[in-house]
Copies of this chain bind each other. A is one copy, B any other.
């Protein structure tokens, strides 16, 4: 007899938390938009209690912001905020690379290699598949974080990464950035495979710094338009 377990439904506040989080990440709730506990409660067909808890949790994470008058808004990163997020990622992910190089199992490392191979494959194809490229890019970073085997590091980066979702898509803008990213990833992977933690960390740091530079370069044109709408919304409130 195959084992099967009844799904015990999670507490509402948990479900609501994840759902709101998703709505923010997928822009169903837009940056800068004001949200209301009561409306969310009606939307989820629950009372305000679970929504309240979810909202507070998302505030601690930074995805929602409560102002001095207890009004709730979706986080709307300024350009400076984005730079700060990148800086923290640099620090934490280079640590992740170092740890992974030191302690990941061979089979874990080969899983990272698999992502590299798939990316290479994708890049040789003529037609550009940006969706997939973003997915693999994310996977590469996620695996390294996971295999670092440091729970606290994982937690910290998880919350930072949800903040990054707002603009991660921007990374691939620009002509050769896809290939550059790949080369950098490959280099990091090589160092990890060689178990050289120092170089892996250094390379990861450079890699994310490059992303930041690239982001800043694109910024003067791109940031303005992508976030213009949000800024407008903000002004109106």
Which chain A residues have a beta carbon within 8 Å of chain B's beta carbons?
A: 11, 13, 49, 52-53, 56-57, 60-62, 70, 81, 84-85, 87-88, 90-92, 94-95, 99, 150-153, 155-156, 160, 163
Residues of B within 8 A of A11 (CB): 70
Check if B57 sits within 8 Å of A60, measured CB to CB: yes
| A151 to B150 alpha-carbon distance, docked (Å) | 23
Q: In this complex, what residue of B is CB-closest to A153? A: B88
Given A57-B60, A60-B61, A95-B91: A156 touches B156 (CB 8 Å cut-off): yes
> In angstroms, how far is the closest chain B Cβ from the Cβ of A180?
24
Q: Which residue of B81, B94, B99 contacts A152 across the interface (Cβ within 8 Å)?
A: B81
Q: Are B152 and A88 in contact (CB under 8 A)?
A: yes
**Which 7 residue pairs spanning A and B have beta carbons closest together?**
A91-B95, A91-B91, A84-B152, A84-B150, A60-B60, A88-B152, A91-B92
A84–B53 touching, CB < 8 Å: no
Select which of B91, B99, B153 is within 8 A of A94 by beta carbon: B91
A151 to B85, CA, bound (A): 9
| A95 partner residues in chain B, CB cutoff 8 A | 87-88, 90-91
A selection of 8 A-B contacts at a CB cut-off of 8 Å is: A13-B56, A53-B56, A56-B57, A60-B60, A62-B155, A87-B150, A87-B152, A88-B156
Chain B contacts for A160, CB-based, 8 A: 152, 156
Per the bound structure, the CA–CA distance linking A150 and B90 in Å amounts to 13
Residues of B within 8 A of A13 (CB): 56
Q: How far is the CA of A56 from the CA of B49 in the complex (A)?
A: 13
* Minimum distance in angstroms from A169 CB to a CB of chain B: 20
Q: Do A87 and B57 have beta carbons less than 8 Å apart?
A: no
Q: Are A150 and B88 in contact (CB under 8 A)?
A: yes
CA distance A215 to B151 in the complex (A): 20
A156 to nearest B CB, angstroms?
6
